[in-house]
Amino acid sequence: MEISVLPSAVSTNTLVKEKANSGASEGYMILANEQTAGRGRIGRSFFSPKNTGVYLSLLLRPKNYSSEQAVRITTMAAAAVCVAIEEISGEKAEIKWVNDIFVRGKKVCGILTEGSFDLESGLLDFAVLGVGINVYEPYNGFPKELESIAGAVFQEHTNDAKNRLVSEFLNRFYGYYTAPSLTKYIEEYRKRSFVIGKEVSLLSSNETKNAVVLGIDDHCRLLVKYADGTEGCYSSGEISV
């Protein structure tokens, strides 16, 4: 594993993607102390201030992963971040499907996985797994528009917490990624998913629907029941509770 630690990066995902395209191997990782243009899901930005967060991107080249299997990378990372947060901080970490991590009711971590697929085989060529964790409150607070949503893992400075979170996350993630069975990670993912049994609004393919979440299956797909009694299944999308 090769790790580059940078004082600042535009976006660690963008940099690792460039490295992937020029042949870097699996395990190549960039860890930055701030991002000047951190990216989130669905074209959003990710607030990445100096010193208070962990911003990392990891290059993966799994063999024979279809697009369905590629989704696992994100959910394995979500489970691994939760376990790491709980181990290092003692706080309970919860998952809002698919991959937002909450502590004390506020979002403390976002995950953005970007895949590049081989056009002929349809298999994953590489994936860049990007993880952003708000470890501490930013020095000047969160921007107004994030104030009610975003939070930090720790309320007070804790020695070495950032390094310990990164190393615990990597150990957990590789454990799940290399395990012969998916059972352990799915169990960890499912037991921290706080949307099960709740009524949610589901945004997928530009359409919003209300539904009750019935559960999460072994592919980490969301199983829902709509008001008219019919059922649905989602492998991606955005929910609000």
DSSP H/E element including 171: helix 161-178
Decide whether 61 or 107 has the Cβ nearer to ligand BTN: 107
In the complex, least distance from residue 227 CB atom to ligand BTN, rounded to whole angstroms: 28
> What is the radius of gyration, based on Cα positions, of the chain?
17
Cβ neighbours of residue 213 under 8 Å, at least 6 residues apart? 97, 195, 196, 197, 198, 200, 222, 223, 224, 239
Q: CB of residue 172 vs ligand BTN: minimum separation in angstroms?
A: 17
Give the residue closest to ligand BTN by C-beta: 110
* Shortest distance in whole angstroms from residue 122 CB to ligand BTN: 25
Contact residues: ligand BTN, CB under 6 A = 11-13, 35, 38-41, 44, 46, 48, 55-57, 110-112, 130-132
Q: How far is CA 83 from the centre of its chain?
A: 13
Question: Judged by CB, which is closer to ligand BTN: 13, or 33?
Answer: 13
Q: CA–CA separation, 185 vs 83, rounded Å?
A: 10
Task: Measure Cα distances from 212 to 98, 115, 196 in Å.
Answer: 16, 30, 8
Give the residue with the Cβ less far from ligand BTN, 12 or 75: 12
Report in angstroms how near the CB of residue 224 gets to ligand BTN at its nearest. 22
Residues 89 and 151: their CA atoms lie apart, in Å, by: 14
CA separation for the pair 151, 156 (Å, rounded): 12
Tell me the closest approach of the beta carbon of residue 217 to ligand BTN, in angstroms: 23
Instruction: For ligand BTN, give the closer residue by CB, 184 or 238.
Output: 238
Kindly tell me which of 41 and 184 has the beta carbon lying closer to ligand BTN: 41
